[in-house]
């Protein structure tokens, strides 16, 4: 799709603006391999960039107008750099990035652009972060803005928090900007330290299944889980005065002080504490080239999310069950906030077609819903594309 998409961007730009684009960039979506609901507990996450991207091509203007055509929405959005107003549309993500760049004192000029993306929206694969990072990367290239990858990721997160008004974490922007082919990225959500982890899937693919279930309960459940985790920390501080987040608690300590916690709070804390440990074990397994151990950790993560954290749903559980029934699947779990969205599985290349057929048919039979399946390897983060 990528080369076709770049050609489509270039030809559409020629058609809409009467010239060839001076620059084309892309930024990928992502899937979180393991480390769910650990981010707001100062823990660890392990995302990977996927081969679904937002691509932007364009040229500078000599005024302060921005004019962008979206191939996905088949519409123009035009606005002035002097008056960035939120309109609850896709261009808000671009405006938010420009607003943050201006607040940092960077000079941004007008531009014309065409954009297209194939990161599925509302699927939990982070189309919004890909759009923010692609926009920031595009503008920085054009206007000679020197900015580290980490600084750009943080700027994009601020754009989403402050301009768009979504209280997202940092993981999505980090991996979209800093991803590297053949690697996952372990991010420490406390200090934003990160390390590239070899994710060489020789003979295997990342397979994402979109349940097509809209994630309706996410906001209320998210706030409830967050307060349960904070309550757990508060109660455990009676015996562990130095902890400030569940990240600081080991499984052994949690078991030792179980009596301090109501049963539900204990289960919520147990998910987060064991999930942090699973992320670290997953990194060790990948560094040792032990994919079967990595797959087993994915499976354990799903059971913990389903039973202890209770953020799965019937459809995600069915997808995971169907995935695991295919010989050649070494691990499968829900990914993202839960209550819908996607699952992620690691599947032998020769089993991918059987996986696709078996999971699609089984899922439709049991739910009446047609799932979507996306197959990827670990890809690079934001990059300049050659025209």
* Contact in structure between 39 and 171 (CB atoms under 8 Å): yes
Task: Tell me if 126 is assigned to a ligand binding site.
Answer: yes
How many C-beta neighbours within 10 Å does residue 161 have? 15
Task: Tell me if 160 is assigned to a ligand binding site.
Answer: yes
Question: Cα(155)–Cα(170) distance, rounded to whole angstroms?
Answer: 10
Number of alpha carbons in the 13 Å side-chain half-sphere of residue 126? 32
Reported for 363-366, long-range contacts at CB under 8 A and 24+ positions apart, including other chains, are: 363/209, 363/211, 363/315, 363/318, 363/319, 363/322, 366/318
String of DSSP letters for 23-60: EEEEEEEEEEEE--S-GGGT-EEEEEEEEEEEEEEEEE
Question: Cα(381)–Cα(174) distance, rounded to whole angstroms?
Answer: 9
Task: Tell me if 35 is assigned to a ligand binding site.
Answer: no
Question: Cα(28)–Cα(377) distance, rounded to whole angstroms?
Answer: 12
Task: Tell me if 135 is assigned to a ligand binding site.
Answer: no
Q: Which of 245, 234, 319 is nearest to 41 (CA)?
A: 245
Task: Tell me if 38 is assigned to a ligand binding site.
Answer: yes
Question: Cα(119)–Cα(176) distance, rounded to whole angstroms?
Answer: 12
172 belongs to the catalytic site: yes
Residue 61: exposure state from Cβ atoms within 10 A (0-12, 13-18, ≥19) = middle
Q: Which of 206, 308, 215 is nearest to 264 (CA)?
A: 308
Task: Tell me if 70 is assigned to a ligand binding site.
Answer: yes
First to last CA, the chain: 14
Question: Cα(230)–Cα(188) distance, rounded to whole angstroms?
Answer: 19
Task: Tell me if 124 is assigned to a ligand binding site.
Answer: yes
Task: Tell me if 39 is assigned to a ligand binding site.
Answer: yes
Task: Tell me if 266 is assigned to a ligand binding site.
Answer: no
Question: Cα(204)–Cα(200) distance, rounded to whole angstroms?
Answer: 9
Residue 22: partners with Cβ closer than 8 Å, 6 or more residues away: 58, 59, 60, 142
Pairing of strands 111-117, 65-70: parallel
Q: Which of 246, 242, 221, 220 is nearest to 232 (CA)?
A: 246
Looking at 172, 248, 276, 308, which residue is catalytic?
172
Task: Tell me if 386 is assigned to a ligand binding site.
Answer: no
Task: Tell me if 125 is assigned to a ligand binding site.
Answer: yes
Tracing tokens 């202890």 back to the chain, one arrives at 308
Q: Which positions make up the binding site for substrate?
A: 36-39, 222
Q: Which positions make up the binding site?
A: 36-39, 70, 122-128, 160, 222
Q: Which positions make up the binding site for Mg(2+)?
A: 128, 160
Residues annotated as catalytic (active site), given as ranges: 172
């Amino acid at each position: 799709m990528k080369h076709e998409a770049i050609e489509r961007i270039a030809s559409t730009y020629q058609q809409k603006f009467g010239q060839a684009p001076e620059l084309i960039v892309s930024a990928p979506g992502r899937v979180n391999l393991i480390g769910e609901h650990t981010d707001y507990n100062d823990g660890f996450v392990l995302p990977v960039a996927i081969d679904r991207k937002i691509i932007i091509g364009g040229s500078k203007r000599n005024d302060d107008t921005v004019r962008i055509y979206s191939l996905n929405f088949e519409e123009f959005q035009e606005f002035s750099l002097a008056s960035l107003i939120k309109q609850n549309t896709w261009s808000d993500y671009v405006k938010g990035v420009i607003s943050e760049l201006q607040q940092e004192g960077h000079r941004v000029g007008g531009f014309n652009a065409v954009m297209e993306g194939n990161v599925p929206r509302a699927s939990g694969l982070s189309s919004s972060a890909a759009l923010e990072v692609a926009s920031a990367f595009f503008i920085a290239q054009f206007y000679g803005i020197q900015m580290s990858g980490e600084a750009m990721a943080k700027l994009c997160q601020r754009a989403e928090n402050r301009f768009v008004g979504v209280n997202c974490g940092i993981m999505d922007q980090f991996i979209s900007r800093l991803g590297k082919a053949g690697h996952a990225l372990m991010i420490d959500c406390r200090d934003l330290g990160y390390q590239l982890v070899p994710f060489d899937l020789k003979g295997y693919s990342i397979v994402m299944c979109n349940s097509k279930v809209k994630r309706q309960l996410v906001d209320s459940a998210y706030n409830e889980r967050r307060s349960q985790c904070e309550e757990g920390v508060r109660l455990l501080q009676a015996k562990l005065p130095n902890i400030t987040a569940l990240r600081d608690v080991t499984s052994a300590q949690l078991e030792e002080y179980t009596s301090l916690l109501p049963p539900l709070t204990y289960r919520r804390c147990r998910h987060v504490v064991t999930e942090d440990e699973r992320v670290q074990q997953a990194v060790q397994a990948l560094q040792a080239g032990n994919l079967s151990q990595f797959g087993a950790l994915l499976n354990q993560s799903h059971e913990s999310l389903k039973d202890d954290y209770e953020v799965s749903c019937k459809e995600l559980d069915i997808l995971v069950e169907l995935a695991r029934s295919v010989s050649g699947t070494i691990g499968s779990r829900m990914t993202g906030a839960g209550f819908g969205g996607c699952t992620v599985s690691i599947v032998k290349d020769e089993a991918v077609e059987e996986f696709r057929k078996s999971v699609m048919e089984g899922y439709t039979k049991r739910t009446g819903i047609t799932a979507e399946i996306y197959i990827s390897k670990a890809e690079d983060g934001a990059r300049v594309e050659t025209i």
